[in-house]
């Protein structure tokens, strides 16, 4: 009965595809499969293979991800893998097969991304978006009944082929390891919808992606093999609200195949010991699918698990309906302080590239903020929004993200200065340098960060986003005056977080292609970058907020013993020291402050940056003191940044010529990552010549 009610509740959200649409997908994949076979035969003939081999050469399209798991939603894309025999080269896939696709009249929006971490061809085939990876196996022919779970297939393979195979191998292994596939699928549909509605579905921003959610649901199914879907949803929240992180979630015992590939193992790899929420893929080589998770994102997700448990407890007692579980909380009423991050570019094409890069680095900013000793939580909303233009006459495309902040309660101090300069500056440094190193940077590509109070969010965000109407303060934030007509209300969001409400299930929002594919779209390399800005500091008095949050419902229900007894327990974390200078030099000349931070594998909750810089160290600081007591509604902050970007050529010249300039080297502070020597890692070493930086100061004073 409860399971049937769950299905009825899910239907309006568009999580189930019509049979007609499903058959259309199967037909399209059949056409694509025939194209692959035809192409491989042509390649074989051109390489003068024997006719007997050509007739049986094979070749096949495999699927993975949500489609293969059977949990794809209406209009979702298909993740596919083209498997070819040993005589077909990767270069053939990106030349002759690309040309063959180009000739098909059903194919639109064809583009190849050959230099990606996992190389891919993207296309729209008869209205359905498909991403095709390529793997060349060490076989003369590809049989129809090929099982990609066979570890021996990985022998002598190129690392890119191993990465490409990984998605299929993990998906197939998950399906093989769950006791009841139908119950698993319905439970996963419910959990994925819940995660999207609660803004915790985004691998690239440090939450969980599709594969990670699938593995958590699969583990729940293993622990309760006879439970139906409605029970499994409740058990999911029970298990993971009480899970003792960082104990890993494992669907099977790791097996060593002696293929010498790097695998997740904290006993061997020191960097693996810092992973905060490890969920380990079941197929060799085993990897942690959640290396992006940070202290804050884990805190947010655990809190959501607890809330989910409280709600499902009510549902099982018939005190609430399933619809309550899928109610979207209002992120913009949750916190009193926010950082608004704006990315702008002069053209739409440049905006897409720029937004993709900035989004892939936001987790570094979250990691930086977490280490500020006065910040308890930095919660980034995975949804991005179109930002209002600063200058209506100038052609400019702007996107913004919002990060909620919780400050620690101060006990001994009436006024407390909090300096976010270093946190934000090192993030912008990273983004600019990455853009320059990858030859992507163009003039007028900018990043700006602003502190905004809850009362002022209405000046930036569309009305339909701010659900609860409240009286707003209109002073204190220097922004272009807005009215509703000046805002583009379309959501600019990654398809991993775009969820229609039941009333608008058919009106899907435009999708941002960046970060949409868990498991193959890896974050861009985390290296330092440069930002050249004017020095402007503002210090204001703002009220201190309460950092305590409700812990959600609790349950005394027992969890099977295996739930918290993983095969691998990470060793105790070593003590980490961090060197932080006692002062920041805020100097208008193009000279950095010379801050140096020790390398750390990932953020650890206990490691915080210590004292904020003293007031005297900011020669251009504007000190604002209010004579009268300021109420929360009218206290405000002025953090309008005037960015002065130099051309790429000027910056590069400065790198080469200005030999006497001190440099700023910051390490990427995002959550878990692999060591540079690891083959499956996408994190290269830091570049040798950091770019000179002019600091831009953002300081707050907390008033109890």
Secondary structure (DSSP) of 560-580: -GGGG--S--PPPPPP-----
Report whether 207 belongs to an annotated binding site. Answer: no
> What separation in angstroms does the CA of 505 have from each of 9, 10, 17, 499, 667?
13, 11, 12, 8, 42
**3-state secondary structure (DSSP) of residue 342:** strand
Q: What is d(CA 174, CA 521) in angstroms, rounded to the nearest whole number?
A: 20
Report whether 30 belongs to an annotated binding site. Answer: no
Q: What is d(CA 163, CA 133) in angstroms, rounded to the nearest whole number?
A: 9
CA quadruple 251, 255, 257, 262: dihedral, nearest 10: 70
By the 8 A CB rule, do 452 and 338 touch?
yes
- Rounded to a whole number of angstroms, the distance between the first and last alpha carbons of the chain is 52
112 DSSP β-pair partners: 121
Report whether 66 belongs to an annotated binding site. Answer: yes
By the 8 A CB rule, do 204 and 521 touch?
yes
Report whether 79 belongs to an annotated binding site. Answer: yes
**Phi/psi-derived region of residue 420, left when phi > 0, alpha when psi is between -120 and 50, beta in every other case:** alpha
Q: What is d(CA 636, CA 630) in angstroms, rounded to the nearest whole number?
A: 9
Report whether 167 belongs to an annotated binding site. Answer: no
Q: What is d(CA 108, CA 114) in angstroms, rounded to the nearest whole number?
A: 18
By the 8 A CB rule, do 129 and 237 touch?
no
Report whether 558 belongs to an annotated binding site. Answer: no
Report whether 393 belongs to an annotated binding site. Answer: no
> What separation in angstroms does the CA of 453 have from each of 334, 339, 664?
11, 9, 31
Q: Angle, nearest 10°, between helix axes 421-437 and 648-657?
A: 100
Q: Which residues are catalytic?
A: 66, 77, 79, 131, 192, 201
Report whether 338 belongs to an annotated binding site. Answer: no
Q: Count other C-beta atoms under 10 Å from residue 21's C-beta.
A: 13
Q: Which pairs with CB-CB distance under 8 Å and at least 24 residues apart come from 221-227? A: 221/178, 221/179, 221/180, 221/183, 221/184, 221/187, 222/177, 222/178, 222/179, 222/251, 223/559, 223/560, 223/562, 223/563, 224/560, 225/179, 225/180, 226/179, 227/183
Secondary structure (DSSP) of 505-541: TT-PPPEE-TT-STTTSPPPP------B----EEE-E
By the 8 A CB rule, do 552 and 310 touch?
yes
Q: What is d(CA 249, CA 276) in angstroms, rounded to the nearest whole number?
A: 12
Report whether 126 belongs to an annotated binding site. Answer: no
Report whether 11 belongs to an annotated binding site. Answer: no
DSSP element (H, E) containing 107: strand 107-113
Tokens 């010529």: give the residue. 657
∠ Cα 550 670 408 (to 5°) = 35
For the annotated binding site for ATP, the residues are 64-66, 73, 77-79, 131, 192, 201, 210-211
For the annotated binding site for Mg(2+), the residues are 77, 79, 131
For the annotated binding site, the residues are 64-66, 73, 77-79, 131, 192, 201, 210-211
């Amino acid at each position: 009965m409860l399971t049937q009610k769950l299905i009825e509740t899910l239907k309006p959200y568009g999580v189930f595809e019509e049979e007609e649409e499903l058959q259309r997908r199967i037909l399209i994949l059949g056409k694509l499969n025939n194209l692959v076979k035809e192409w491989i035969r042509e390649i074989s003939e051109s390489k003068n293979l024997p006719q007997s081999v050509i007739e049986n050469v094979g070749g096949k399209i495999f699927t993975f991800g949500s489609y293969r798991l059977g949990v794809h939603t209406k209009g979702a894309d298909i993740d596919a893998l083209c498997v070819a025999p040993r005589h077909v080269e990767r270069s053939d896939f990106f030349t002759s097969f690309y040309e063959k696709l180009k000739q098909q009249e059903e194919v639109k929006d064809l583009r190849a991304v050959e230099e990606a971490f996992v190389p891919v061809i993207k296309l729209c085939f008869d209205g359905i978006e498909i991403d095709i990876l390529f793997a060349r196996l060490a076989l003369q022919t590809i049989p129809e009944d090929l099982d990609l779970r066979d570890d021996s297939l990985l022998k002598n393979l190129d690392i890119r082929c191993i990465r490409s195979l990984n998605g299929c191998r993990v998906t197939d292994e998950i399906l093989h390891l769950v006791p009841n596939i139908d119950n698993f699928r319905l439970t996963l549909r419910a959990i994925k919808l819940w995660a999207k509605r609660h803004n915790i579905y985004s691998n690239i921003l440090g939450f969980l992606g599709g594969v990670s959610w699938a593995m958590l649901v699969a583990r729940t199914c293993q622990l309760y093999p006879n439970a139906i879907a409605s029970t499994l949803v409740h058990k999911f929240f029970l298990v993971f609200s009480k899970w003792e992180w960082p104990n890993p979630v494992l669907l099977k015992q790791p097996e060593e195949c002696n293929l010498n590939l790097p695998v997740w193992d904290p006993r061997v790899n020191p960097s693996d010991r810092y992973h905060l929420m490890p969920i380990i893929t079941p197929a060799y080589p085993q990897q942690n699918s959640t290396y992006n998770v940070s202290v804050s994102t884990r805190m947010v997700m655990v809190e959501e698990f607890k809330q989910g448990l409280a709600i499902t407890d009510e549902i099982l007692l018939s005190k609430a309906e399933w619809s309550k579980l899928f109610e979207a909380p209002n992120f913009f009423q949750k916190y009193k302080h926010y950082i608004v991050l704006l990315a702008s570019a002069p053209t739409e094409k440049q905006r897409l590239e720029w937004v993709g890069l900035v989004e892939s680095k936001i987790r570094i900013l979250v990691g930086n903020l977490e280490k500020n000793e006065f910040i308890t939580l930095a919660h980034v909303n995975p949804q991005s929004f179109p930002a209002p233009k600063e200058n209506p006459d100038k052609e400019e495309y702007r996107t913004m993200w919002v990060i909620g902040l919780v400050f620690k309660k101060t006990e001994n101090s009436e006024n407390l200065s909090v300096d976010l300069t270093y946190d934000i500056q090192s993030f912008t440094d990273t983004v600019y340098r990455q853009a320059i190193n990858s030859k992507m940077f163009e003039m007028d590509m900018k990043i700006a960060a602003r502190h905004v109070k809850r009362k002022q969010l209405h000046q930036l965000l569309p009305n339909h986003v701010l659900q609860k109407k409240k009286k707003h303060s209109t002073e204190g934030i220097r922004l272009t005056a807005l009215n509703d007509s000046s805002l583009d209300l379309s959501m600019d969001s990654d398809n991993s977080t775009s969820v229609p409400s039941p009333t608008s299930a058919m009106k899907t929002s435009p999708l941002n292609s960046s970060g949409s594919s868990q498991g193959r779209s890896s974050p861009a390399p985390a290296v330092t970058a440069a930002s050249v800005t004017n020095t402007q500091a503002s210090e204001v008095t703002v009220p201190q907020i309460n950092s305590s949050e409700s812990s959600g419902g609790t349950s005394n229900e027992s969890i099977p013993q295996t739930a918290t007894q993983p095969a691998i327990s990470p060793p105790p974390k070593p003590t980490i020291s961090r060197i932080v200078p006692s002062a920041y030099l805020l100097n208008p000349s193009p000279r950095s402050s010379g801050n140096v931070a020790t390398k750390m594998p990932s953020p650890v909750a206990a490691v915080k940056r210590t004292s904020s810089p003293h007031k005297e160290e900011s020669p251009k600081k504007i000190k604002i003191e209010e004579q009268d007591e300021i109420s929360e509604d009218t206290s405000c902050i002025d953090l309008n940044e005037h960015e002065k970007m130099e051309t790429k050529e000027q910056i590069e010249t400065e790198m080469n010529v200005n030999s006497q300039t001190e440099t700023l080297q910051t390490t990427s502070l995002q959550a878990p990552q692999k060591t540079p020597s690891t083959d499956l890692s996408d994190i290269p070493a830091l570049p040798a010549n950091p770019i000179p930086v002019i600091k831009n100061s953002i300081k707050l004073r907390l008033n109890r």
